[in-house]
Chain A
Amino acid sequence: MASQHRLDMQGISIEFPGVKALTDVDFTLESGTIHALIGANGAGKSTLMKILAGAYDTHTGQVLLDGQPVEIRSPRASKQLGIEIVYQEVDTALIPYLSIAENIMLDVLVNNMGGRQWVNWPELHRSARKVLERIGVRLDTRVLVQELTLAQKQMVLIARALAGDARFLILDEPTAPLSNTETEELFRLMRDLAHNHGVGVVFISHRLPELFEVCELITVMRDGRRVAHHGIADVSKKQIIELMLGHRFDETYPKRQVELGDTLLETRGLTAADGAVTDVNLTVRAGEIVGIAGLVGAGKTELCKTLFGAIEIKSGEIWLKGRPLRITSPHSAVTQGLALVPEERRKEGVLVDEPVYVNLSAASLSKYCGPFDMINQRAEREAARKAIKDLGVKTPSENQVLAYLSGGNQQKVAVGKWLISKAEVYIFDEPTKGVDVGAKQEIFELIGALAKQGKGILYASCEFAEILGITDRAYVMYDHTIAKELETAQTTEEELLFFSTGGK
């Protein structure tokens, strides 16, 4: 079992349309070690591991197993070499209405049945139980996967990876949804696999303290390159953060001078259902742009949606202009003066099959309605044309179907919808995601203009440079709550990243 293996990736590069995702990356994984892989969002960690798992076939460079070149161009080829990956989204990899045993033995059922047509149930359960025993997990193999907790599902996925005698196991941010005790359990399992069974484990995580707890080696990536490779004992948290950030080119942010007014929005102990966010206390003043910084999975989107009534509030209060709000749905949030530009633009923010003017009026149609709720089409289009001009949306006319606009212009429409509606507090969730540099600039200016009008702005982003560039004050989120409040003028990217990765 514990034979030594060594996997070398050398000079790996890959390009996607318009982006060079990886440039000349080396990575080495040995049996019996736990190897941390870390980098900011978009640094290329997941891409690198997906190449190892055979998800792409357009990369260049070579992979060596024990010094012998191997071709990994399909998931099947990867599995045959004993490489298994557990993706972050466990639910997409499991079949909820099948039993634990069937899920664990899925690869066997799909690929190794040969000419057999009948399922040998006792054998299937026996094999599944053996795998679970090996990793020390006590679960009844007859239970359906849909009845399991998130952590248990993860165990089942790991068990599935090991059912095929994995020599290398990649865990892509496995701890993000787990509680502390569940995380401890996972670490125990990782150590057991590495040290007693000779498995080489890659551990991707944003949480620095965790890396120091279980890993022996660390590789840091930035902008598609490997920037450092160390034994974990040889580096400090501070050094890692500096390596992750490096020197980025500076974007220019519009300078604004705005008198801050009274407190507009305030939350007291805001807690959402299912722990999406817990005990959030924040304030936003009139004319103030408040950042919500945090890494992916920290709970920024959940906080935005909770404020907006799209996630059920369990306890706590939301106050606007000194009055408590009762927010039960996005509809009630809108009527009480809140606006949200959601993160998933195409899925949640805009109507891609509808023309621009329908999108622009979607949140404020009542304003253009006459008797019998008839829409005054002339006024509606008039307002749409004005918004298109004010926002600088590049479209031939207000009748253009939104799908034909670029991402940046779609985003301007998603923002413009709320400008027409006249809210008091605007919540932006990653508004620059998938937007080109020019449009980014215009969106920043729009946000600045809103602040100038005395609106309150909440700006959630995992791009710390943006947080530093446009906010007055920032809250850093970690583990579904606010970990730190910082004055933007007196902080740095390093500090933001420090608190975002669980620093105290």
Chain B
Amino acid sequence: MKATAHPSTANWVGSALSFITKWGTVLTIFILVAFFSILMPSFLSASNLVTILRSISIVTVIAIGVTMSLTVNGFDLSVGSVATLADSLVISMFVWYGLGSVFSIVIALAGCLVVALLNAFLIVKLRIPDLLATLSMMFIIEGVAMTYTGGGSISEGMPRLDGTPTFGKLEPVFRLIGQSPTIIIIMLVVVAVVHVFLNYTKHGRYLYVVGGNLEAARLSGIPVDRYRTLAYVLATLFAAFGGVMLGSRIGSAQINAGAGYLMPSVAAAYIGFSVGGARRANAIGTFVGAVLVGVLENGLVMMSVPYYAMNIVKGAVLALALAATYFRKR
């Protein structure tokens, strides 16, 4: 209350507050890094930093998918199961059908494109609220992936469930995708391309305009349905690409392998809202959000926090990020 009596103090407090809301996430990362490296000097080693970047690569790419749906003020809950489906498809192409890398990846992405169009159809044409449409899609896709693999995992040399032996091998080129530094480079390229797309092209601008005020966008002559469809299609495609990266990383298809990526991706995308005062979903912010989640997870693992307690921390970080986004909006 006293601050109002001293305008200079009020200004100072105000600008400090706005600095914190803009750069709080980045600040938090630095504080966490300092904290962990004081406790464990090895935290700051080059190899550990690379480990962190590698560990967030898949999260970041899937989170970019979530970001896409957020630009039109939507939400895609099905990204985790899409990643699972892409993983199953791509590995099965190698192991079951002995296809090459290019074909396998293209077929996996094409399969997920069908999902993307279905999502868009449910949300844009049938007007089901996005959260509910993608929630039901999440279960459908999970079921489809599991039915396709016969309820089991797929890996090299493992016979199919009906006993048919398999001979396909994962190509070394494909395995390269999941290794550092390739996987890190892929992540950075995805972030950069999406950043340019959202901020410097007409289509990115339209996505934000549609998300900001659907009716005003429509009455400005923007084909809003087309852009909402585009957002959901891109969301699914990035999630699918994350799933391909996941397949390459673990070299197999596992049941619900992508499910665990949903939460950190959503957290990363929402944390990204406030980064640099963007006040909207954006690629760089999402990357920073993923770094925050990654640093936290890596540090806690090194401190030997049991894996089963990790979700408490991750959930708390998401709640905090959402609080920062929505509290200021009022």
Query: Which residues from chain A sit less than 8 Å from chain B, CB to CB?
Result: 308, 310, 329-331, 333-335, 340, 342, 347-354, 358, 362-363, 365-366, 369, 372-375, 377, 417, 421
Whether B219 pairs with A349 at a CB distance below 8 angstroms is yes
Across-interface contacts of A421 in B (CB, < 8 A): 221
The answer, among A308, A335, A354, A369, for a CB contact under 8 Å with B202, is A369
- Please report which residues of chain B, range 217-250, place their CB below 8 angstroms from some CB of chain A when the two chains form the complex: 217-223
Whether B202 pairs with A366 at a CB distance below 8 angstroms is yes
Across-interface contacts of B287 in A (CB, < 8 A): none
- Is B212 in the interface zone, CB < 8 Å from A? yes
Whether B200 pairs with A374 at a CB distance below 8 angstroms is yes
Q: Chain A residue with minimal CB distance to B223?
A: A331
Minimal beta-carbon separation of B193 from chain A (angstroms): 11
CA distance A350 to B203 in the complex (A): 18
CA distance A372 to B201 in the complex (A): 8
Instruction: Given A329-B223, A342-B219, A362-B220, answer yes or no on A375-B205 (Cβ-Cβ < 8 Å).
Output: yes
Across-interface contacts of B202 in A (CB, < 8 A): 365-366, 369, 373-375
- Chosen A-B contacts, 27 in total, with CB atoms closer than 8 Å, are A330-B218, A330-B219, A330-B220, A331-B218, A331-B222, A333-B221, A335-B221, A340-B219, A347-B216, A348-B213, A348-B216, A349-B219, A351-B212, A351-B217, A353-B279, A354-B209, A358-B209, A362-B217, A362-B220, A363-B220, A363-B221, A366-B202, A369-B202, A373-B203, A374-B200, A374-B201, A375-B202
Minimal beta-carbon separation of B322 from chain A (angstroms): 19
Whether A348 pairs with B201 at a CB distance below 8 angstroms is no
Whether B216 pairs with A350 at a CB distance below 8 angstroms is yes
Q: Chain B residue with minimal CB distance to A417?
A: B220
Across-interface contacts of B219 in A (CB, < 8 A): 308, 310, 330, 340, 342, 348-349
Whether A348 pairs with B209 at a CB distance below 8 angstroms is no
Which residue, of B200, B201, B220, has the highest number of chain A Cβ atoms within 10 A?
B220
Whether A351 pairs with B209 at a CB distance below 8 angstroms is yes
Given contacts A350-B213, A351-B209, A421-B221, 10 further A-B contacts (CB under 8 A): A330-B219, A330-B220, A335-B221, A342-B219, A348-B215, A348-B219, A353-B212, A358-B209, A362-B209, A362-B217
CA distance A374 to B202 in the complex (A): 6
Minimal beta-carbon separation of A347 from chain B (angstroms): 6
CA distance A251 to B223 in the complex (A): 40
Query: Which residues from chain B sit less than 8 Å from chain A, CB to CB?
Result: 200-203, 205-206, 208-209, 212-213, 215-223, 279
Whether B221 pairs with A330 at a CB distance below 8 angstroms is yes
Across-interface contacts of B206 in A (CB, < 8 A): 365
Minimal beta-carbon separation of A369 from chain B (angstroms): 5
Instruction: Given A329-B223, A351-B209, A362-B209, answer yes or no on A373-B201 (Cβ-Cβ < 8 Å).
Output: yes
Instruction: Given A333-B221, A358-B209, A362-B209, answer yes or no on A351-B216 (Cβ-Cβ < 8 Å).
Output: yes
> 9 shortest A-B CB distances, which residue pairs?
A334-B221, A331-B223, A373-B202, A363-B220, A362-B220, A348-B215, A373-B201, A351-B212, A365-B202
Whether B215 pairs with A347 at a CB distance below 8 angstroms is yes
CA distance A331 to B225 in the complex (A): 11
Minimal beta-carbon separation of A417 from chain B (angstroms): 7
CA distance A468 to B192 in the complex (A): 56
Minimal beta-carbon separation of B235 from chain A (angstroms): 20
Which residue, of A333, A351, A362, A417, has the highest number of chain B Cβ atoms within 10 A?
A362
Minimal beta-carbon separation of A330 from chain B (angstroms): 5
Q: Chain A residue with minimal CB distance to B206?
A: A365
Across-interface contacts of A333 in B (CB, < 8 A): 221
Whether B205 pairs with A365 at a CB distance below 8 angstroms is yes
Minimal beta-carbon separation of A276 from chain B (angstroms): 16
Across-interface contacts of A310 in B (CB, < 8 A): 218-219
